[in-house]
Amino acid sequence: MTIAFYDAAQVEHLLDYPGCIAAMRCAMQALSESGKAQPLRQIVKIADNMLFGVMPGDLAAIDSFGAKLVSVAEDPVRPGRSRHRGVVVAFAAGTGEITCIADAETVTSIRTACATAAATDALARPEARTLAIFGAGIQAETHIRALRHVRAFDRILLWSRSIDTSTALAARLSAELGLTIEAMTDGERAAAEADVICTVSGSAEPILFRSWVRDGTHVNLVGSSFLGPVEVDSALVAAGRYIADYRPGVLAQAAELAVARDAGLVGDDHVVGEIGEVHASTLVGRERLDQITIYKSLGHVVQDLAAVAYLHARAASKGIIA
């Protein structure tokens, strides 16, 4: 049996943003509607600077099951930042055969941003025009590329702990995408002027605070994917209408929620539901224009399976043999 393999370049070529956003919306709705318990991700500490992540699961809506296997280690090319190297392996539910294997780092970077874009489309105010990104790594770039497809942002504000890094990224993407992207030195000002905020830094300590965020803002918490890193303060967690990608996972592994819960500010009932329920119109997302809404993204393997199924189908339609 020949197994199709898609390397990083092929994934980037085949996994277009509008198509992936639609795939993420459908996948998250199917996850919520299935009612089936999915295994939580397993994270194994290999060494002080090396983690191994295993994310198994299935997505019956596309007759697929599989797993993502990744190492998480410091990137020697970018000190202080990490890389996620690995593969997504997809199986056909009907036969048990391997459908394809794809580079996990590129799949993750694009599908995460596209899932955020779908959530933003569902939760942000329709007239949102200013986007703030906290972080300047690969997720900052993919989030800018994705979110421009769901709102007509006329300003994008980019803040990170390195002004040189954020300035370089802002200049490159402004030229490439024809957008107005400003590197900011003041995170408080960036947050105060934003209608939508994405935290994609993986910071160990809060970089965004409730006092900075205007009422009516939509906030995407993306950078922390396991217990430990906390990108926002507990006051912001408590102030927002908090919607999970996958509720059992968020209750067990969302660091910002855990800290706020331990402080007695919120309980498990603060997680009002899943984004898939909002996509299915069985849960109200934004209740009021002046409400702060929060989407917590831990990431789920159904997103990987849906993204890989989509790019595999595109490859077949284009006659590409991976």
CB atoms within 10 A of CB 9: 10
All structural domains of the chain with their residue ranges: 4-108+302-317, 125-299
What's the Cα-to-Cα distance from 91 to each of 1, 103, 300, 310, 321, rounded to whole Å?
A: 13, 15, 16, 14, 18
Q: pLDDT tens string for the chain (322 positions)?
A: 689 999 999 999 999 999 999 999 999 999 999 988 999 989 899 998 899 999 999 999 999 999 999 998 877 776 666 788 999 999 999 999 999 999 999 999 999 999 999 999 999 999 999 999 999 999 999 999 999 999 999 999 999 999 999 999 999 999 999 999 999 999 999 999 999 999 999 899 999 999 999 999 999 999 988 888 899 999 999 999 999 999 999 999 999 999 999 999 999 999 999 999 999 999 999 999 999 999 999 999 999 999 999 999 999 998 886 4
For residue 217, count CB atoms less than 10 angstroms from its CB and return exposed for 0-12, middle for 13-18, buried for 19 or more.
buried
The encoded tokens of residue 164 equal 């040189």
The encoded tokens of residue 172 equal 């490159």
What's the Cα-to-Cα distance from 103 to each of 2, 84, 85, rounded to whole Å?
A: 17, 10, 8
For 61-79, the pLDDT digits (tens) are 999 999 999 998 877 776 6
The encoded tokens of residue 140 equal 């900052």
CATH of the domain spanning 125-299: 3.40.50.720
Q: How far apart are CA 293 and CA 240, in angstroms?
A: 5
pTM greater than the 0.85 cutoff: yes
For 185-201, the pLDDT digits (tens) are 999 999 999 999 999 99
The answer to whether the CB of 141 falls within 8 A of the CB of 78 is no
The encoded tokens of residue 306 equal 């849906």
Q: How far apart are CA 196 and CA 311, in angstroms?
A: 29
The encoded tokens of residue 207 equal 């970089």
Class of domain 4-108+302-317: alpha beta
